Amino acid sequence: MTNIVLVTATSLTLVKAPALPLAPVEYQQKYADDLNNVLRLYFNQIDTLIGQLTLGSVYAVADLPDAANAGVGARAFVTDSSVTTFGTTVASGGSSKVPVYSDGTNWKVG
């Protein structure tokens, strides 16, 4: 079984716009190198943030990790739910594909 990626409001890394170096009047290779380094670091941070927003793996309901261990706010996606109403406890035996979240006790549709 694959691990679920936990995404909570407190776990996201905020990304701050970079302070770009000022361009010299005459072309200098050092300026181009500095600019490339700053932009590379910035886009790596953006990449990390986007990775934190990924929901993770797709599960069958029976294969979901324990909701208590996953923690409140953990999210996943299931492919065999028999319920689709927001906020109801997810149950297997159907063919509905729905996102789910942990309330710390159960996995709920949503």
Q: What is the pLDDT of residues 41-93, one digit of tens each?
A: 999 888 877 766 665 678 999 999 999 988 888 889 999 999 999 999 999 99
Strand partners, 101: 75, 108
pTM beyond 0.75, yes or no: no
Q: What is the pLDDT of residues 1-42, one digit of tens each?
A: 444 445 554 556 677 788 878 888 888 888 888 999 999 999
Structure tokens at 110: 């949503």
Q: Report yes or no: 110 and 86 within 8 Å, Cβ to Cβ.
A: yes
